[in-house]
Amino acid sequence: MRSLFIFLFLTAATGWAATEPPPAKPPVSAAESDELYDLGKSMFDRYATPEIKAQYEFPSRERWNTFATRLQQALDSNKLEDLAAFEDEAKSGLTALRMLPGYGDYADWLSQRIDYIEAAKQALHRPAPRPPGARTTRGPRPLDIPYYDLWLERIRNRPQPAQAEELIPILRAAFKAEGVPPELAWLAEVESTLDPAARSPAGAKGLFQFMPETAKAMGLSTFLPDERADAEKSARAAARYLGQLHGKFGDWPLAFAAYNAGEGRVRRLLAAHSSKTFADISAALSSETRMYVPKVCATIAVRTGVTPGKIARPRS
């Protein structure tokens, strides 16, 4: 009988949302973790069908806490092997989530993270990128995004999300209105699979997975109504935020890294390694961000034909 990791993911993943850096310690207190565990156990006992209970067992409290800690460490680690090691557990959790009613949004969220886990496993069989701050040539060099080719291979034959035909024209128009290249609207595929109702256990929501504080800073309401679910308004907010990040960091790969990992973390790493590019600090970033940036760049390239070095600067 396989262990059911549904609620482990809901608890441990609270530091794994876009636009916010993962915390250095578990995001909930011991009392909160116990409360969530009790809630999860109660819901499993009440709502899981006999068929699910025959296949899965709810994990013990000890296993819950151990798994939560390990997952948080893997997310915050810059070692791809730590993330790749979660493949079997993550896929088992996804299977369980798909079978429980009311957890479709979380299943979609976990499915996106499994994409990173699988890519991390592939990346381990490829040449490692240069160490942070390393220099290979003097003077300017071509734009270098570690694992970009890997993600091109993964995305090239993927169909567009079901809602792309309806939503992408709206998102592109919003980005263009904010003076940001409309190709960047495809960031929503990476963040939410173009699902306006997407949410993460950490509280990120919408096409661009804004956390509440970031949403408010970008002028979005998060309560009655929650404008993160509004395609046009959230797209304009995402475009403004990306434009600001480009202004601070000077190129799109670093802007994408900051969108995912937080401005502070990217700025500190650039300073620590006397670096100016994403490639220079990639190996020092968390595994998720190391996979996120090339995934965004490859998605834009596949969907629009615009390669990373050809994406225009924001209109000033």
In a shared domain, residues 303 and 169? yes
pLDDT band at residue 68, thresholds of 50, 70 and 90?
A: low
pLDDT at site 257? 97
Task: Please say whether the beta carbons of 43 and 11 come within 8 A.
Answer: no
The pLDDT-based confidence of 74 (bands split at 50, 70, 90) is: confident
- Look at residue 244 and tell me whether its pLDDT is greater than 70: yes
Higher pLDDT residue, 155 or 96? 155
For residues 123 and 69, the answer to whether their CB atoms sit within 8 Å is no
In total, how many domains does the chain have?
2
pLDDT at 26: 39
Query: What was the pLDDT predicted at 42?
Result: 74
The CATH number for 259's domain is 1.10.530.10
Domain contains 186 = yes
**166/276 same-domain check:** yes
User: Which of 304 and 162 is assigned the larger pLDDT?
Assistant: 304
> How many CB atoms are located within 10 Å of the residue 291 CB?
27
Is the domain of 28 the same as that of 156? no
Which residues lie closer than 8 Å to 156 by C-beta, 6 or more apart? 302
* Residues 216, 296 within the same domain: yes
Residue 159 dihedral angles phi and psi, to the nearest 5°: -70, 155
Q: Is residue 110 part of a domain?
A: yes
What pLDDT sits at residue 231?
A: 95
Return the exposure string of 1-12: e unless at least 16 CB atoms fall within 10 Å of the residue's CB, then b.
Answer: eebbbbbbbbbb
Distance in angstroms (rounded) separating the CA atoms of residues 109 and 6: 12
Residue 137 lies in a domain: no
pLDDT over 60 at 1, yes or no? no
What confidence category does residue 277 fall into, taking pLDDT thresholds of 50, 70 and 90? very high
pLDDT at 15: 35
Residue type, 245: L
Q: Which residue has the tokens 């006999």?
A: 50
- Which of the 8 DSSP states describes residue 141? -
Residue where a domain terminates, one of 82, 106, 123: 123
If asked whether residues 110 and 181 sit together in one domain, one would say no
Look at residue 129 and tell me if it is in a domain.
Answer: no
Say if 118 falls within a structural domain.
yes
**Of 82, 107, 123, which closes a domain?**
123
Q: Give me the long-range contacts of 223-229 (CB less than 8 A, separation at least 24).
A: 229/196, 229/197, 229/205
At residue 192, the pLDDT reads: 92
Q: Do 166 and 85 belong to one domain? A: no
Instruction: State pLDDT tens for residues 13-26.
Output: 433 334 443 333 33
Instruction: State whether 88 and 205 are in the same domain.
Output: no
In a domain? residue 132 = no
Residue 3 has pLDDT above 80, yes or no: no
Q: What does DSSP assign to residue 97?
A: H
pTM of model > 0.85: no
- Residue scoring higher pLDDT (227 or 199): 227
Residue 233 in tokens: 């308004």
Domain of 159?
148-310
Residue 223: its pLDDT value, please? 87
Is 48 in the same domain as 195?
A: no
Is 119 a member of any domain? yes
**What is the dihedral sign for C-alpha 112, 26, 88, 97?**
negative
pLDDT surpassing 80 at residue 70: no
Q: What is the mean pLDDT of residues 58-62?
A: 64
Is residue 7 predicted with pLDDT exceeding 70? no
Q: Which two tokens stand for residue 239?
A: 């475009």
Q: Which one of 106, 123, 140 terminates a domain?
A: 123
Clarify whether residues 97 and 242 are in a common domain.
Answer: no
pLDDT attached to residue 37: 63
Whether the per-residue pLDDT at 216 is higher than 90: the answer is: yes
Q: Are residues 154 and 301 in the same domain?
A: yes
Burial (CB < 10 A; 0-12, 13-18, 19+), residue 217, is middle
**288 and 152 assigned to the same domain:** yes
The more confidently predicted of residues 169 and 77 is: 169
- Residues 97-145 have pLDDT tens digits of 676 666 677 777 778 888 999 999 999 988 766 665 555 444 434 468 9
Residue 57 lies in a domain: yes
pLDDT averaged over the chain?
A: 81
Q: Are residues 168 and 117 in the same domain?
A: no
